[in-house]
Structure 1
Amino acid sequence: MFTNADTTMYLYSKENGVDKYTRLPIEGVYWEEISQSTLLRTGERNSASVLLVIPLESLESPVEFTPGKDLAVKGIIEDEIDSGSQAALSKSLTAFKAAHKFITITSADAKLYGSEAVQHYELSSK
């Protein structure tokens, strides 16, 4: 599978009623930025999205995604999101969002069939 970038995912989970983000650096993904324009009566509306394809062979094990909550940054970064308390999480997320150009995963499709060489996840974002 053709890859052109690395990414750092921040996977959302909820454990014992506490929100948590786990950092997952992934080398060898396909990252495609897509820009679209729509002409409306009120004017032109532009939108941008990213198609992120993660080959299964780039992961140590299968991943459970949470659309609408998971975040991704192009490239490998070392920043962690502090999930120690709700206040720490809020402060850490605010600092993270100010420091990085990130995407929020809106859909995740597991394409885990066929030979191992073609198994992958297709993630879309806005």
Structure 2
Amino acid sequence: MPATGSRFTSGWSEALFGLWGGRVDWVGNWVAYKDGQLRTQERDHRRFRPGQKLGLFDDSGVLLIPGWSDGAFDCRAYTQDQDGQPEELTCRQSPRSLADALEQLGLQSVDRSG
């Protein structure tokens, strides 16, 4: 599993606080593929297993894999089932758009004139 830099973690925490005002409760980790595209579940499972061996994923710590699939942004999430195998969780879409979230962070200016 790749290491996470403390500057990234601090910046990400600030961004989440700015978006949701500290109302975030998260136990888990996320990883994205280099090109931003989702892969097969088997490839996801190969990402899950090393983190599981390190104790990062269990019945309450999840792995979230965001990415693009067929031109749409999507996510997959995995937890550990009772036999220690990766089990896919349902991800729910937010009514809030990604563009709105990026605009609020000042990362993107959205032209809404149509």
TM-score range, shorter chain: under 0.3
TM-score when normalising by structure 1: 0.25
Larger RCO (CA within 8 A; separation ≥ 6) = 1
Select the structure that is richer in helix. 2
